[in-house]
Structure 1
Amino acid sequence: MAGRLARGAAADSSRAETRERSAAPPTAAKAMPPSPAPALSVAPAAQAQPLQESPLQQPRRPGPVTAGVVDDNADFDAYLAFRDRTQVAHRPRDVRQRYLLEVKDARGRGVGDAEVAVQSPDGHAMWARTDGAGRAWLHPDAFDPAGSAHYDVLVRKDGRQSAARLTRGQRSAVEVRLDAAAPAARARLDLVFLIDATGSMADEIDKLKATLRTITAEVAGLPSRPDICLALVAYRDRGDAFLLRSHDFSNDVGAFLQQALQPLRAGGGGGDYAEAMNEALHETVHQLSWRGDGATRMVVLLADAPPHLDYGAPHYDDDMLAALGKGIKIFGVGASGLDRRGEYIQRQMAQYTGGRFVFLTYADAQRPGSGPGRETVHDVKNYSVDTLDRLIVRLVADELAKGSAGRG
């Protein structure tokens, strides 16, 4: 049971607090109401990628950590082909049919952070929030088992609302006009680091500690000069010293680094490969104090293992749907040792919420101890490579830039 353990910052950062949940088996969490949780999909297992040597067994490497990134929404056909050839256990959500929603004001500017409800005649529904450019991807078959022919789309912001209809098979985007107030002059960013803190993640956690101050300084110096709030959710597994430790949002970067990130240590691992990612994602989406209208909301998920699929609720697919409803984008970061199931699930969450899949790269893909480079064991093509800290800054900058036109 989660309890308040300590305040994470001073009075002017009073939203920051540490929450810890013991590693005892959790009670079943409340599932997302819009759609029933689907049955577990267990396809014939593909040959697993050999696990890489544990970072705990490697000497500490000087120099940068390099990473690549792919945008599965930008190359959607390639993503669907990856899904088809990757036969692993996962929570199924059908995204093969998708439709672009664009919400614009009278001047043709994108309306960011607008609330979206999509409902079938039978009452099956989903929720989303538009990104800074006023866009959101809608996947009817992910929530509607009946495969309805059409859907009512309702968009709301600042007390104003507008409606449209989505017809299955339409080729054009669903366009909605909505006269909303201009966004705040200064961008707001809620950024969460969701971290697997089991023993094999020691190297990645140390690197994050070493670079996060630089990352936040560079983000603060972006042209939009964002008002930044940071949060941390760390997780291990049942049987470890803790299941979850979370530090709620703080706008005091120094206090966050000192009180939330620096004390974090890798350890444990539950005695198996999968970890408590389901519980951690549920905590992240539902328990943190996300800011209201107008914020850019991002989760950087750093993990080298998939979630347990045998623990019962909460389930990651329910919470990725809930994340889209709250305008939270998930950016999965695949650390060394992440197998094909872990890659599939990280990409599943990133694609559905509008995020991207990031993966560490090495001089020799089969040897993470070989140092930084361009190679990876993951099933990706046509990816760019940069240092991980610069890549995170770039991803944040891309998201913030989507709302800059509305502030101009």
Structure 2
Amino acid sequence: MTQAFVPRFRRPLVVLLCAQLLLTACGATEPPAVAGATRWPTPAPDSRLQVAQTVPNFEAPSATHCARPVQTYETPGMARVSEFRREPAGTDALKDYSLRRPVAPSVSAAKSMPAPAAEARADAAIAEVPPAPATPAAPAARISGGLQPPAQAPRPANEPVTAGMVDDNADFSEYLAFRGRTQVVHRERDISARYLLQVRDARGAVVPDAEVAVQAANGAAMWARTDAGGRAWLHPNAFDKAQSPVYEVTVRKNGRQSTAFLQRGQKNAIDVVLDGKGAVPARARLDLVFLIDATGSMDDEIAKLKTTLRTIADQVAKLPSRPDTCFGLVAYRDRTDEFLVRRHDFTNDLNAFQGVLDALRAAGGGDYPEAMNEALNETIHKMSWRGNGTTRLVVLLADAPPHLDYGGPHYDDDMVAALGKGIKVLSVGASGLDKQGEYIQRQIAQYTGGRFVFLTYREATNPASGPGTQTVHDVGNYSVQTLDKLIVRLVSEELGKLPAGG
């Protein structure tokens, strides 16, 4: 089992923090410099066989490429697990849906296999374990949104899908007001205290994808990676309930390391300079995952995504940075369905990726909440995200909130882990998304530095009314584009933040 990590602080760090408090009281703003005072904390490694991962894991992305055929792994739903249990001992517990369709060995051989094959077997082992007993949920947990998904009228196949977007980090006060007036069941993370970190090199150029560790003297710690613009939003209350007065902020990349201090209540951004000139990659790298609710009510949205993926990919390829792009797909349903999560790992073969998307069908579901928790967990921890210098984005398309009454992973732990791995989530609210779903999708997007996108219609409450500018969501000051153009715009904005030459 994964153990919660508690950083060990050496005496110089405690001395530094105390000195900073003393200097602050006397009007000083810069901390004293002591060589070798910082120790980089290392979180516990991920446990692939852990049934319910509740401790965030910040293992750095490390894949070097995605030049591979599509590799597909499935966490079966209970219907398929029942089929597995009827099979004779020694037969495969996991059906391989890869385009290559190799014969999969038995689960018992998983420990001797290299990743990602061993990972697939680990998934199968997890699927074989009976579900954890449901944790007691507040009465409202099953009321929000109703027990059945809203009925949706089909739209013409050639009709465009329009969408709006809000940036809750850009209008943070309004986001806090939205949280205050929206009373729904959710996993709480206190983001009321928020600070901007900006990392640059000695020339003043932004430093993207730099590792960040934020530590308090009481042992509380968080991790982040800077985005393409060298920035990260830090929320100390989300990991430190004691609300320490000072935090040490350590940044490192490519062997360079620098330290600054965050004083609670400060108004200015935390500026960190990494000595030397950062290496700028010759070509931008983009890892793009589509995380999709594949239950029955999502049929229209999935059909439209199938027809627009090629357009999205072509437009992304033609961006000024000409990114080296890897595509991934994670689809999810619910426990009672054929599969819980089906993930297709990164590939640069767009034709093959289009093939797995074309094969995706919307089915199942039943009750309103779905297995978003489990799917987000696999997306963050089990996809082969590339390492240094990559822009990592998830487009989450869903029309329902996650089940909060399951005893499995939790979305708030994984949004925290996503920040530590440098993964931004663009949450897209599809037709029928209720208040609880909107609240949770906006939580995930805001914390990871992403945006909340929502479909719009001619009549806000009637998705069958066709494309338009109206929405039922609690948002304001938004413009409307077709969904494919909006996704390309957001990707372009991220890549446009990269330093010259990237």
| Aligned residue number for residue 400 of structure 2 | 305
Cα deviation, 1:241-279, whole Å, max 9, x if unaligned, reads 110110000011111111x2010000000x211000000
1:46-195 → structure 2 map (5 Å cutoff):
53-55=150-152, 57-179=153-275, 180-195=277-292
CA distance 1:12–1:169, shift in 2 (3 Å) = closer
SS at match of 1:67: strand
Q: Shift of residue 12 of structure 1? A: 7.9
Alignment partners' CA distance in 2, 1:219 and 1:250? 15
| CA offsets 1:132-166 (integer angstroms, 9 cap, x no match) | 11110000001111111111111000011001111
Of 210, 214, 225 in structure 1, the residue corresponding to residue 307 of structure 2 is 210
Spell out the pairing of 1:7-406 with structure 2 (5 A cutoff). Answer: 13-14=67-68, 16-24=70-78, 53-55=150-152, 57-179=153-275, 180-258=277-355, 260-269=356-365, 271-403=366-498, 405-406=499-500
Q: TM-score, normalised by structure 1?
A: 0.90
How far did residue 109 of structure 1 move? 1.2
Output the amino acid matched with 2:478: Y
CA deviation digits over 1:75-131, x for unaligned, max 9? 000000000000000000000110000101111111100000001111111100001
> Quick one: distance in 2 between partners of 1:284 and 1:241?
19
Alpha-carbon spacing, 1:177–1:63, altered in 2? closer, same or farther (3 Å): same
Distance 1:320 1:43 in 2: 25
Does 2:491 align with 1:407? no
Counterpart contact for 2:292–2:332, Cα < 8 Å: yes
Stretches of structure 2 lacking an aligned partner (at least 5 in a row): 1-47, 50-64, 82-122, 128-134
TM-aligned CA distance change 1:248 to 1:407, over 3 Å: same
Cα shift at 1:48: 5.7
> Cα RMSD between the aligned structures?
2.4
Identify the range of structure 1 (196-205 vs 17-26) with the bigger mean alpha-carbon deviation.
17-26
* Change in CA separation of 1:157 and 1:22 when aligned onto 2, cut-off 3 Å: same
User: Could you list the per-position Cα deviations for residues 281-337 of structure 1 after superposition, in whole angstroms to 9, with x for gaps in the alignment?
Assistant: 000000000000000000000000000101123100000000000100000000000
CA distance in 2, matches of 1:407, 1:372: 39
What is the CA-CA distance between 1:185 and the residue it aligns to?
Answer: 1.7
% same residue: 65
Indicate if the aligned counterparts of 1:28 and 1:313 stay in contact, CA closer than 8 A.
no
Cα distance in structure 1, aligned partners of 2:448 and 2:481? 23
Give 1:267's aligned amino acid: A
Matched residue type, 1:19? Y
- Which residue identity lines up with residue 327 of structure 2 in the other structure? L
Tell whether the 8 Å contact from 2:137 to 2:405 is kept in structure 1 after alignment: no
Q: Residue 36 of structure 1 corresponds to which residue in structure 2? A: none
Alpha-carbon distance in 2 for matches of 1:198, 1:313: 20
Given residue 14 of structure 1, which amino acid in structure 2 is its aligned partner? R
Give 5+ residue unaligned stretches, structure 1.
3-10, 30-38
| Structure (1 or 2) with the greater strand fraction | 1
1:28: how far off?
8.6
In structure 2, the residue matched to 1:5 is: none
Are the aligned partners of 2:201 and 2:278 in contact in 1 as well (CA < 8 Å)? Answer: no
Q: Indicate the structure (1 or 2) with the bigger Cα radius of gyration.
A: 2
The answer as to whether partners of 2:164 and 2:480 remain within 8 angstroms in 1 is yes
Offset of residue 54 of structure 1 = 3.0
Take 1:40 and 1:299, find their aligned partners in 2: how far apart are those partners? 31
Distance of 1:70 and 1:229 partners within structure 2 = 26
On the 8 A contact 1:53/1:368 being kept in 2, the answer is: no
Alpha-carbon distance, 1:53 to partner? 4.9
CA contact (8 A) 2:165 2:454 kept: yes
Q: What is the TM-score of this pair, normalised by structure 2?
A: 0.73
Structure-2 separation of matches of 1:28 and 1:202: 28
Please give the secondary structure, in 2, of the residue aligned with 1:407. Answer: coil
Aligned residues of 1:235 and 1:277 also touching (Cα < 8 A): yes
Asked if structure 1 preserves the Cα contact closer than 8 Å seen for 2:288 and 2:395, the reply is yes
